[in-house]
Amino acid sequence: MRPPQGPAAQETAQPRREVVDDDLRAQIGRAWESLLDHADAIADDITLTLMENGSKYYDAAGPELRADVRASTREHIRRGIRTMAGLAEPGEKAIHIWRETGRRRARQGVPMELVLNAYSLGTRRLWEALLEQRNNPDLGIDDHVLLIAGQRIWSALDVQNATLVESYRRESSRLQRRDLQRQQSFLDGLVEGRGADPGFASEARDVLGISADDPLACVVAHFDGSLDEPLRAPEDRLERAGVLSYWHVRGGAFFGLVPTSELTLTELVRLLEPAVDGRVGVALSAEGISGFATAYQLAGRVAETLPRGSHQMVSVTDRLPEVLLGGSPEVTSLLVSETLGAVLAQPSQQAELLLQTLEALLAHDASPTHAAEQLFCHRNTVIYRMKQIESLTGRSLQDPRDKLLLSLGLLATGR
């Protein structure tokens, strides 16, 4: 039974600590020392209970961790008893093993609550074992000795928990920083085209948890000189949908690697669209890791085709002409000059009227009737403007190649 706790108990316990003399201290030490021969049996009983209570975790963890827990529990109990009995050397104080256990369990990935439960269980089992010793006539342990000993061991539990939690969290933070650095290093390597290297691909599989041929998507969001995030917490949205993703900042862009074996491109866009707050592009890498560098370039290019200041996410497959034009500024400039140069040279109002008419005609397969309906004007007016366009450009709207060039020319002007 745990001794009374709380402010009232502390008020009554404090004076007793002050009057602990050498004789009482020796009695407490003998009481704890009497448990040393039973230390391993107590520890094994604790370990068995831990494994039963946490069977879902420990059964799946494997024999190595279970053996480590048993050995660690034995060491904890032995050191704990020696410390409470006043027999511990400076280098074997229990607090040292508490710190090391916190670090080790964090590295092993054991949930913190299981570790804290182990400490509570261990403290209770030690207290129960001590209570059993009052029936030993050779020790002469009275209730007063047990009370003081119990107060000390339960007070030690608070120190144990605080020490372990701090050590566990420090190690967890260190591991997370290390893992994040490794992940970002591999993402940089993939962007640089190292995914085709079998050795690098094998390491990436271990670090990122993806196979070399798993289909991937690359998402690129441009900062555009702003400190605001162009894509807000995309990993959280994807994680809620059961999709693990990896994100990194490179240059002026925020980019991510998203496995798509169980996710279509349409679903990916739908999941991320509510988080879009800038220009965002996405491209698939059907070749997996080896094609990620190309997907990164295409996703960045399609994002660049969007007007600065826009909040939109687009796929490269939806804007292939714009991506083609954006990839070669010199060719784009020549295309505009050769197709629409003469139209653009007209007075601004006339040029705009002709460009609107050309857009309508191209949208309706060069049909003056349907273009007139869109423009809310007479069919003959559209025919007159169409002849002006063909005369100025030297292109025929009945020629498929000329129509393609005029369409690309319009796209190149940003319309």
CATH number of the domain bearing residue 404: 1.10.10.2840
Q: Fill in the amino acid letter for 152.
A: R
- What's the distance, Cα to Cα, between the start and end of the chain in Å? 81
How confident is the model over 95-139, as pLDDT tens digits? 788 889 999 999 999 999 999 999 999 999 999 998 888 777 777
Task: Tally Cβ neighbours within 10 Å of residue 70.
Answer: 18
Residues 286 and 395 in one domain: no
**Final residue before a domain boundary, out of 265, 297, 326:** 326
Answer whether residue 219 is part of any domain. yes
Query: In angstroms, rounded to a whole number, what is the distance separating the alpha carbons of residues 366 and 36?
Result: 97
Model confidence band, residue 173 (pLDDT cutoffs 50, 70, 90): confident
Average pLDDT of the segment spanning 157-178: 89
Query: In angstroms, rounded to a whole number, what is the distance separating the alpha carbons of residues 305 and 279?
Result: 9
CB 300 within 8 A of CB 293: no
Q: 43 lies in which domain range?
A: 7-175
Q: Which residue has the higher pLDDT, 292 or 20?
A: 292
Share of the chain above pLDDT 90, in %: 52
For 245, the enclosing helix (H) or strand (E) is none
Query: In angstroms, rounded to a whole number, what is the distance separating the alpha carbons of residues 358 and 406?
Result: 8
Answer whether residue 15 is part of any domain. yes
CB 403 within 8 A of CB 412: no
Q: Are strands 312-315 and 279-285 parallel, antiparallel or unpaired?
A: parallel
Query: In angstroms, rounded to a whole number, what is the distance separating the alpha carbons of residues 297 and 220?
Result: 9
Nearest in space to 2 (alpha carbons), one of 153, 171, 205, 202: 153
Give how far Cα 240 sits from Cα of 134, 180, 234, 267, 406, Å: 56, 20, 10, 13, 45
Contacts of 45 (CB under 8 A, 6+ apart): 125
Query: In angstroms, rounded to a whole number, what is the distance separating the alpha carbons of residues 115 and 164?
Result: 9
Residues 399 and 268 in one domain: no
Query: In angstroms, rounded to a whole number, what is the distance separating the alpha carbons of residues 282 and 327?
Result: 16
Share of the chain above pLDDT 70, in %: 93
Query: Does residue 8 have a pLDDT over 80?
Result: no
Task: Tally Cβ neighbours within 10 Å of residue 181.
Answer: 10
> 401 is written with which tokens?
């190649």
Query: In angstroms, rounded to a whole number, what is the distance separating the alpha carbons of residues 42 and 261?
Result: 50
CATH number of the domain at 88, please. Answer: 1.10.490.10
Residues 25 and 137 in one domain: yes
The pLDDT, as a whole number, for residue 228 is 80
Answer whether residue 368 is part of any domain. yes
The pLDDT, as a whole number, for residue 20 is 65
Task: Tally Cβ neighbours within 10 Å of residue 25.
Answer: 13
Average pLDDT of the segment spanning 76-80: 90
Nearest in space to 191 (alpha carbons), one of 176, 204, 174, 209: 204
How confident is the model over 20-34, as pLDDT tens digits? 677 888 888 888 898
The pLDDT, as a whole number, for residue 227 is 67
Answer whether residue 33 is part of any domain. yes
Q: Are strands 253-259 and 312-315 parallel, antiparallel or unpaired?
A: unpaired
Query: Does residue 35 have a pLDDT over 80?
Result: yes
CATH number of the domain at 220, please. Answer: 3.30.70.2730
Query: Does residue 378 have a pLDDT over 90?
Result: yes
Number of domains into which the chain is organized? 3
Model confidence band, residue 4 (pLDDT cutoffs 50, 70, 90): very low
Model confidence band, residue 19 (pLDDT cutoffs 50, 70, 90): low
User: Structure pTM?
Assistant: 0.59
Q: Which residue has the higher pLDDT, 4 or 397?
A: 397
